Amino acid sequence: MAVITRKKYPFLFRVLDKKEIREDNATDAMDLHGIRGFNKVVKNGLSDVSVSYVSMSFLSDAGDNYPKLVDLCSEINDGKYCFLVKDDVYFFTKKDNWIELHVAKGYDILYWGIGYIGETVGFKNMYDNVRNESKHAIAQIPVAVLLFKQFAETEIKVIPPNGKVKDFHCRYKSDLPIPIQRLDLNWYTESCKNHPFVVRGHWRMQPHGKGRKEVKLKYIDPYMKTGYTKGAYMND
């Protein structure tokens, strides 16, 4: 079950409650610039923030297709976004070509950064409190999700306020008093995998004979597949 509760995402509910961070609580991971930026984000709680729960399958395909979509970064719609990815909460703001990002886990902000999105590259002049090669990988996550969501014609499903939803492959429960978008691979019009992967051995009913009107049970050996495009799963 995927749950969105105060226990799992305490920092998300801190934003909901409009609890600002005091400037005298600045740390190595959250200096004064980061605190002031975050307090601007939480000023209105979650009333003007688009909140989405991101499945690992959606995140994987978003990352795979990021190189193809990166030139469209400047066309991402302006706004305030919040993405729930595993146990992490990504607060992402875009205005014109400027972006600001805060990443929280539990009660703490682990990362914050601001930067500029160029027309032909993902980021320019990115600077933050993380002084190593991982900073671009961290910032790339919400950008990849937004690009894939906006340009891949994904179908959006919604968890209602304080609601529960059961699909054929997962159950969702939310304690938030606002609706949450669910981003999942199985809701695309088409699902594409571009990288090679191994298909495990399996049994299938194989058509054969005249006009292929007869069937027989046949074992298919494991093999390498280079990619596929398939239709979406259907929900009732």
Amino acid sitting at position 160: P
Average pLDDT over residues 1-29: 77
Average pLDDT over residues 56-70: 85
142-175 pLDDT tens trace: 888 998 888 876 767 888 888 887 765 667 888 8
Residue 90 banded pLDDT, cuts 50, 70, 90? very high
Confidence (pLDDT) at 193: 56
Confidence (pLDDT) at 51: 92
pTM of this prediction exceeds 0.75: no
The residues that bridge with 69 in the sheet, in sequence order, are none
* Angle, alpha carbons 36-37-43 (nearest 5°): 85
Helix, strand or coil for residue 16? helix
179-194 pLDDT tens trace: 898 887 654 444 455 5
- Would you call 197 exposed, middle or buried from its count of C-beta atoms within 10 A (0-12, 13-18, 19+)? exposed
* Residues in CB range of 105: below 8 A, 6 or more apart: 11, 87, 88, 89
Q: How many CA atoms lie within 13 A of 162 on its CB side?
A: 1
